[in-house]
Amino acid sequence: MSKKNRIRLFSYEILYENVSYVPSDAQIHYLKNVMRLTSGDEVFLFDGQNGEFRSVVADISKKSLTLQVQKKVYDFEKSPDIWLVFAPLKKENTDIVLQKAVELGVSKIMPVQTEYATKIQVKRERAELQITEAAEQSRRQDVPELLKTVSFDEMIKQWPENRKLIYLNETGKGMVFSAVASELKEPVALLVGPEGGFSKKELEILEKLPYTLSVTLGKRILRAETAAIAALSCWQAFCGDWR
Amino acid sequence: MSKKNRIRLFSYEILYENVSYVPSDAQIHYLKNVMRLTSGDEVFLFDGQNGEFRSVVADISKKSLTLQVQKKVYDFEKSPDIWLVFAPLKKENTDIVLQKAVELGVSKIMPVQTEYATKIQVKRERAELQITEAAEQSRRQDVPELLKTVSFDEMIKQWPENRKLIYLNETGKGMVFSAVASELKEPVALLVGPEGGFSKKELEILEKLPYTLSVTLGKRILRAETAAIAALSCWQAFCGDWR
């Protein structure tokens, strides 16, 4: 690797210059036992509100470790207001979706149990750790929120109507991204169905709602996790912060 | 799953209506022992040249199986002329890149050994099977070619100069896709570096070549496999067959 890998952690407390931060137990384990840091070693901390700070290991004993926060190195920057709504997949594919969505700058992630989705639950604690880790590694300044898993009907019932819901339509009926980019401005959510697609009933409901838009990603069949990554990438390039 | 999963296989022989096809040993194993097909069951075959044909299991015995090709169901359609050049990654991430690149309609895949790439070799036979399988499942009509792994210097030395080489630049200097889409017309190759990025020397070489173009996918750090998927998706949406 060319670049020295900076150690970068999310801070569960709001940070300021010249405070100290006591990492979580898992973070202390990581810094002490995995990275084997010693007194004076550098750790970058971001708090999702005030920005990113350089800190150093100040106090280290058998069980504890404190970080002394020094200078702010980056101002806080909010990621675009784009949600990903996806049907839970087999475990490793859900892992891929969560990790990549964070890298691609999603702001909220909502699992939705559609008719043909696997019945596998998204394990909340594990998923939140993965999301936080992906945020740390992608150097974004905020950690996306994992919303609670809802059924398709609940999702529709509670949908905030000022947010456009863009669903990926595998039936070939959807519009291409380039043709509708001007309608995809924030706030937006991208909805990706499961491997089996949406049911006929779900498609009928989606078609009729006033805040939905149907898009297509070409004629080839994409796996659900590929479709989620591809859709987020296209949105970033046409409407988000890759412009 | 809503849709009956069609069994779809690549044919290693060129197909016509009313011929018979003897599948490879691996395909016979799959049809007989995994899918447990019996006489008269339907299999779709595509040959990468004449299109896709419906066939049925005609002859089945303990060790052999023959498919009787019937009607053509889809004409052959070539995928866009877009190559992916990528630095080999850890095994599971190379798997992800190969599978997703095929789904996203790549035409050739070239592994390139850059300075900071892992030294892990792409295992040719295994990779070709993965590529074929992904083509079968994505319902594309052709199977992308896996070119042999080359060093960075060899890649440059043998580069076909009529093909634009778009490299993903992590230094923040690249152009955004939307700004250069008109220059990204076929034939094009997307070059994605390893986790550690390109070396300074490699970047200097890339910058000076007349057929290269440097693009960026935003400020967040993307893993190499995410960058490959994102870049192919953007290319398809701006320049390829997702328009």
String of DSSP letters for B64-90: -EEEEEEEEEEE--PPPSEEEEE---S
**Which amino acid would we find at residue B120?**
I
Q: How far apart (Å, rounded) are the C-alpha atoms in residues B232 and B239? A: 10
Q: How far apart (Å, rounded) are the C-alpha atoms in residues A106 and A228? A: 11
pLDDT at B171 over 90: no
Share of chain B above pLDDT 90, in %: 88
CB-nearest partner of B233 from A116, A139, A230: A230
Share of chain B above pLDDT 70, in %: 98
3-state SS string for B130-162: HHHHHHHHHCCCCCCEECCCEEHHHHHHCCCCC
Partner-chain contact A2 B197, CB within 8 Å? yes
Query: Which helix (DSSP H) or strand (DSSP E) does residue A180 occupy?
Result: helix A177-180
pLDDT at B179 over 50: yes
pLDDT at B4: 53
> CATH homologous superfamily for B82-238?
SPOUT methyltransferase, trefoil knot domain (3.40.1280.10)
Q: How far A242 CA sits from the closest chain B CA (Å)? A: 5
B142 contacts on A by Cβ (under 8 Å): none
pLDDT at B36 over 80: yes
With the C-alpha atoms ordered B167, B169, B173, B177, is the resulting torsion angle positive or negative?
positive
pLDDT at B3: 41
pLDDT at A105 over 50: yes
Q: For A134-162, what is the mean pLDDT?
A: 97
Instruction: State both tokens at A84.
Output: 């990903």
Which range is least confidently modeled, A12-16, A59-63, A139-143, B237-241?
A59-63
A231 contacts on B by Cβ (under 8 Å): 233
pLDDT at A4: 53
CB-nearest partner of B196 from A1, A140, A221: A1
Q: For A19-24, what is the mean pLDDT?
A: 97
Between the two ends of chain A, the Cα-to-Cα distance in Å is: 28
Identify the residue among B2, B93, B152, B180 best suited for mutation to test binding to A, counting A beta carbons within 10 A and taking the highest. Answer: B2
pLDDT at A1 over 60: no
The length of chain A, given as a count of residues: 243
A199 contacts on B by Cβ (under 8 Å): 2
pLDDT at A170 over 70: yes
pLDDT at A156 over 90: yes
pLDDT at B119: 87
| Number of cross-chain residue pairs from A and B with Cβ atoms under 8 Å apart | 134
Backbone angle region of A112, left / alpha / beta, with phi > 0 → left and psi within -120 to 50 → alpha: beta
Q: For A67-95, what is the mean pLDDT?
A: 95
Backbone angle region of B183, left / alpha / beta, with phi > 0 → left and psi within -120 to 50 → alpha: alpha
CB-nearest partner of B233 from A116, A219, A234: A234
Q: For B171-186, what is the mean pLDDT?
A: 90
- Mean pLDDT value across chain B: 94
pLDDT at B1: 31
More confidently predicted of A170 and A198: A198
Q: How many CB atoms lie within 10 A of CB B204?
A: 10
Interface predicted TM-score of the whole assembly (ipTM), two decimals: 0.95
Taking only the tens place, the pLDDT of each residue in A210-230 is 999 999 999 999 999 999 999
Query: Which of A56-65, B135-144, B177-186 holds the top average pLDDT?
Result: B135-144
Q: For B72-85, what is the mean pLDDT?
A: 97
Q: How far apart (Å, rounded) are the C-alpha atoms in residues A156 and A113? A: 12
Taking only the tens place, the pLDDT of each residue in B85-97 is 999 999 899 999 9
Q: How many CB atoms lie within 10 A of CB A49?
A: 13
Identify the residue among A229, A232, A243 best suited for mutation to test binding to B, counting B beta carbons within 10 A and taking the highest. Answer: A229
- Mean pLDDT value across chain A: 94
pLDDT at A198: 96
Instruction: Give the largest Cα separation in chain B, rounded.
Output: 62
- CA nearest neighbour of B200 among B156, B154, B169, B165: B169
Q: For B56-69, what is the mean pLDDT?
A: 93
- How would residue B170 be classed by pLDDT, with cut points 50, 70 and 90? confident
Q: Between the CA of residue B75 and those of A126, B21, B89, B221, what are the distances in Å?
A: 46, 18, 36, 41
**A14 in helix, strand or coil?**
coil
- How is B157-182 classified by DSSP, letter by letter? HT--TTSEEEEE-TTS-SBPHHHHGG
Indicate the pTM of the whole model: 0.95
**Which amino acid would we find at residue B58?**
A
Taking only the tens place, the pLDDT of each residue in A112-133 is 999 999 888 899 999 999 999 9
- How would residue B111 be classed by pLDDT, with cut points 50, 70 and 90? very high
Fold of the domain spanning B8-75: Ribosomal Protein L25; Chain P (2.40.240)
Q: For A29-53, what is the mean pLDDT?
A: 96
Taking only the tens place, the pLDDT of each residue in B194-223 is 988 999 999 999 999 999 999 999 999 999
Q: How far B237 CA sits from the closest chain A CA (Å)? A: 7
Which range is least confidently modeled, A92-101, A178-187, A189-198, A208-217?
A178-187
Chain A residues with CB under 8 Å of a chain B CB are: 1-3, 96, 99-100, 103-105, 115-116, 137-140, 176-178, 195-197, 199-200, 216-223, 226, 229-231, 233-234, 236-238, 240-243
Q: For A158-163, what is the mean pLDDT?
A: 95
Domain map of chain B by residue range?
Answer: 8-75, 82-238
